[in-house]
Structure 1
Amino acid sequence: MLQFNLIAAVCENFGIGLNGDLPWSLKSEWEYFTSTTKRRRDTAKQNVVIMGRCTYLSIPESKRPLAERLNIVLSTTILPIELPDNVLLFPNLETAMKHLEQVNVCENIETVWIVGGSGVYREAMFSPRCHRLYITRIKQNFKCDKYFPKIPNDFKQIEPDLETPTGIQEENGIQYEYTILQK
């Protein structure tokens, strides 16, 4: 069974978004997200980012699809959505994962990342496929209209990997910390 990791930045009130955008501006955190979801040990393989339709559409048009990763968009509605040929559309997470598990696809995949939004995060955390949560904890409250779901008790914080910065980071007067939790 192919596993996946989840990556998110979450403020103290569990907010993750406001009006289709991030409620904060942290260039270093965005760079961490990008480098983490692109990082591969085998350059012959590729990573996958899976996101809901609203998350995909919230990415500035000039930056989507997310470069150097296979982009998968989940949408439960049959609304017409124009996607580039290199972006796949599935009705739910399990259908997308079953597609990735096909022999001719799976052998070319290194890491699958769940990158939002809140409904996709909720479904992912309760899946037996979910291995790790890479959570950036923003150390203040922000006004938000999208929230990260409650993390199930079977996830426990582990030591960061070698590529993850440790300790409190600060940018634009906002403190944050990178954490990794594992099932």
Structure 2
Amino acid sequence: MLPKLELIAAACENMGIGINGDLPWRLKTEMAFFTRMTTDTKDKNKKNVVLMGRRTWDCIPEKYRPLQNRINMVLTSQSLDYGDKAITCKSIPHAIEVITDMQNQVERVWVIGGSSVYKSTMESPYFGRLYLTRIKKKFECDTFFPLIPSDFVLIKDPTVPQDIQEEKGIKFVYEVYEKR
């Protein structure tokens, strides 16, 4: 069975997701949510894939690469070799092929950025869900989350906190979308 791709992102009021190759905010609870969602598996013999574009990989501080306890995959048109840190793929369909070949090792596939990877995943037949943290504040950003398609609807996921969260005076809420 083909894996469904789940997107996870945090965006502020102007849908910004990054600035100068970094996050515009530092929210420990939100980062812990990202880590829990992308790492936890029901089957302890399996791992989740974190699928990202090359610029997203480059923006992860060296000491955190690869993201621990996850299979890191990088989409790039360049001929790059990250050794045992990450698997490189040329496209989303290529990544699906590689993941399908490893399906006995993989539980979930999380798309973690950037902007163009989010956009092409939401438009692809492999799209499953979008987990979007809405930061209730405006930040200066140079990278933005793409427009959410009009056929995406909000749903409830029991693993996701429902109420408004707050940290350092910044409010945020977790939203989960599926394609209607």
Q: TM-score w.r.t. structure 2 length?
A: 0.95
SS of residue matched to 2:57: helix
CA shift, 1:14, in A, is 0.7
User: Which residue is equivalent to 1:21?
Assistant: 22
Residues 47 and 108 in structure 2, CA contact (< 8 A), matched pair in contact too: yes
Matched, 1:116 2:95: no
User: Which residue is equivalent to 1:84?
Assistant: 83
The two structures, once aligned, show a CA RMSD in angstroms of 1.1
Matches of 1:109 and 1:153, distance apart in 2: 30
Gapped regions of structure 2 (runs ≥ 5): none
User: Which residue is equivalent to 2:97?
Assistant: 98
Matches of 1:142 and 1:106, distance apart in 2: 39
Q: Which amino acid aligns with 2:164?
A: I
Query: May I ask how many residue pairs the two structures share in their alignment?
Result: 178
Gapped regions of structure 1 (runs ≥ 5): none
CA shift, 1:77, in A, is 3.2
Matches of 2:119 and 2:10, distance apart in 1: 15
Residue identity over aligned pairs, in percent, reads: 46
Q: Deviations over 1:25-44 (max 9, x none)?
A: 10110000000001111111
SS of residue matched to 2:148: coil
Q: TM-score w.r.t. structure 1 length?
A: 0.94
Matches of 1:82 and 1:46, distance apart in 2: 21
Q: Deviations over 1:3-43 (max 9, x none)?
A: 11000001110100000000011011000000000111111
Deviation >2 Å, runs of 4+: none
